[in-house]
Structure 1
Amino acid sequence: MDVNNQAGWLDLDYKPKLPKDLSCGIGIVGAGAIVQACHLPAYRMGGLNIIGIYDVDRDKAEAIARQFGIPHVFDTVERMLEHPDITIIDIAIPAKFQPSIVEKAAAAGKNVLCQKPLGESYEDALHIVKSCERFRVKGAVNQQMRWSPGIRASRTITERGWIGMPTQASIQVNIFTDWSQWPWITQIERLELMYHSIHYMDSIRSVFGTPEYIYADGSKFPGQVSRGETRSMIFMKFPGECRGLIHDNHNNIAGQDDWYATFRFEGTEGIIKGTNGALYNYPDGREDTLQFLSQRIDPGYWFSPKLEGRWFPHAFLGTMGELMRAIEEGREAENSVQDNLLTLQMLFASYRSIEENRPVRLDEIGS
């Protein structure tokens, strides 16, 4: 194979996909920084139909509506749910408020894109799943990192068999995060895994599948402002000889020149390695990088395809686009609330492992 002629066969199919019909109406609950910086810029890129927004702080909602040309600012969630042209409710609020919003939306016949984590407890997540099933609406979860360019391309490479049998996955992050920019998050007991490394668990699961058990540890940094953990290590055992590791530290004192955010997927016949560009100079970010070696293609050649886009905001179009396509095609979304229960099992197995200092099987969660 001519490795220099990569244009056709090396299409890694990593960009978010949209439905044929973009007229589906979307209402947004929440007008926080993530909506302004990620949700709405991504939806604007895709030409999606945003009908209205609601927030308990109406001034914030009105400011974002003016910025993005959103026609309606609703006084209540209930008024939003009454709008006949809204098909999807995009929920962008802390997880503890999510179950009640989903139940109201589902009862009104609206499909939902839920924020991650799906629930602050496994029981809350199950409640959301049952609400969607009861009212026969589609629910999906905004685990958008699996649509970041590097992770999505890694999934394509793995699915094509180019690295052979998967043997090892790792995501390593060593940065500094100023958690005080989200005051509410500094007050919760469960922080890093619940609101950050959950993305890495879901991303690894999207490429390699679901592990059998997890052994995890979480810790704080002396003098940190947050109550919850800001450092974590998560070991994952998959069926057979495959293993995984997440190492995440948000307390790097050396400055951005020393920051790194890398991923690596290995198999019996190949290796994928890359960087998660969004975290190198957050919140500005840069594009992901990717290299891979495949003995099935050329034993001595490292392919270095150029990837376009990044986790923030481009991948946010992946989660919403997949839900919209699922509605259009009459199927379950890849990121459905039902599927996300497996990611939640990884999350809560990690916390139980920290508390009990032992490996925890995923089937222990919710049983």
Structure 2
Amino acid sequence: MGDDRITLRELSVDPAYPLPKRSEWGIGMVGFGGIARGAHAPAYRRAGWTIAAVADPSEPARKVAREQFGVERVYSDYRDLIADPSVEIVDLLTQPSVREEVVLAAAKAGKHVITEKPLTQDPEEGERMVDAARKAGVTFAVHQNYRWMPMNWLARQVVQKGIIGEPFFAGIQLFGSQDRDLKGHHFYSVCDNFLTVQWNNHLADLLRYWTGRDARRVFTRTGRSRGQNFVSDNLLTSLHDFGGGLTGTILHSELVRSDMTGVECRIDGDKGSLVFDFFTRMRISCDATGKGVREVDFSGVQFGDSFVGSMADFLCAVEEKREPMVSARKNLATVRTFLAEHESARRGGEWVEV
């Protein structure tokens, strides 16, 4: 191994995340749209998990569940899925507009629930759902799958182990082309919060995840480009004040009209720095690894699927009777953060308390 490279073993970080002991959990999927059939269902199939039932009011969606995924128990009404005795886990994959009624019905039936992000866009609704799950004694979590993307999973461990010391800065720069590539999308192209809410429910959550801290206040501004397609502004800069000497930043554009897209994340601590993307590359420079910049070597390393990761932690939490890593209770801090960002941007850029 060259002096400019370092292995995960040398860093004492683990690329693998825990998996549940049981593989035959009966998962009932409420909503079988693009994210369910394109990401969740294929990931569960690769993990060897059972999709016990699907509920969706759309007949084409139900047909896909039956014919492409072999799901035999298919319903048009989520209430029938919740009542199905083969369903132990309710996997809620709809837009937030139908979150609360499904969560409350599942909790009343004693079924554990994990929901797509964002959990909600109304903190009071979120509190009601969390309270209902707590009173019913069911586990309730959120699919923040970006936490289980390979480099994000490793970055959290590096920070937790103190390898780069106490963080004072964490930042994300993301340049994409979704304003071009998703032009005409039935939801994203017409919503008014594409970056502040639909995207920052991921990115703001990552800042919380890596650092283990919650922002106290945020300052966010958004902008547009000539000829932009989306209703929502597609250029965002956001400053997060965590207090205690920790600052976070998000610079995000979905306006790129070239092939020069990508993401770079950075965490600086008082003993070193970590620079990485989401999937394939990580560099570290710190006292613990010696002088210079070291490239982390992933030769022979197999990483798990991020959609498996979020469900795996949830199932492990149910088995171990513990709170999930992304419990709905904890995730309310992410909700409050991205809503504060949206409000700050709406005001044209002002500090907003979280």
Question: TM-score with structure 2 length normalisation?
Answer: 0.92
Change (3 A) 1:142 1:5: closer
1:346 and 1:48 map into 2 onto residues whose CA distance is 33
Counting only pairs closer than 5 Å after superposition, residues 189-200 of structure 1 correspond to structure 2 as: 189-200=192-203
Q: Which moved more, 1:98-107 or 1:320-329?
A: 98-107
Give yes or no for contact 1:216–1:234 (8 Å, CA) kept in 2: yes
Q: Which moved more, 1:320-329 or 1:178-187?
A: 178-187
Change (3 A) 1:309 1:218: farther
- Does residue 343 in structure 1 map to residue 347 in structure 2? no
- Does residue 149 in structure 1 map to residue 150 in structure 2? yes
Task: Choose the corresponding residue for 1:288, options 257, 272, 280.
Answer: 280
How far has the Cα of 1:26 moved from its partner? Answer: 0.3
Counting only pairs closer than 5 Å after superposition, residues 1-367 of structure 1 correspond to structure 2 as: 6=7, 8-177=9-178, 178-180=181-183, 182-208=185-211, 209-253=213-257, 255-256=258-259, 258-276=260-278, 287-306=279-298, 308-309=302-303, 314-356=305-347, 357-362=349-354
- Give SS of 1:8's match: helix
Change (3 A) 1:116 1:7: closer
Question: TM-score with structure 1 length normalisation?
Answer: 0.89
| 1:61-109 residue CA offsets vs partner (Å, 9 max, x unmatched) | 2213322222321231111111112111111111111111111111111
- Give SS of 1:252's match: coil
Structure 1 unmatched ranges of 5 or more: 277-286, 363-367
Structure 2 unmatched ranges of 5 or more: none
Q: Supply the AA of the counterpart residue of 2:201.
A: I
* Percent identity of paired positions between Structure 1 and Structure 2: 24
2:245 and 2:81 map into 1 onto residues whose CA distance is 50
2:28 and 2:345 map into 1 onto residues whose CA distance is 38
| 1:95-150 residue CA offsets vs partner (Å, 9 max, x unmatched) | 11111111111111111111111112222222221221232211100111011111
1:239 and 1:11 map into 2 onto residues whose CA distance is 29
Q: Which moved more, 1:2-11 or 1:166-175?
A: 2-11
2:302 and 2:243 map into 1 onto residues whose CA distance is 33
How far has the Cα of 1:240 moved from its partner? Answer: 2.1
How far has the Cα of 1:174 moved from its partner? Answer: 1.0
- Give SS of 1:171's match: strand
How many equivalent pairs are there?
347
Computed over aligned residues only, the root mean square deviation of the Cα atoms, in angstroms, reads 2.1
Change (3 A) 1:9 1:302: closer
Give yes or no for contact 1:26–1:87 (8 Å, CA) kept in 2: yes
Change (3 A) 1:220 1:61: farther
2:184 and 2:87 map into 1 onto residues whose CA distance is 32
2:42 and 2:265 map into 1 onto residues whose CA distance is 26
How far has the Cα of 1:187 moved from its partner? Answer: 2.8
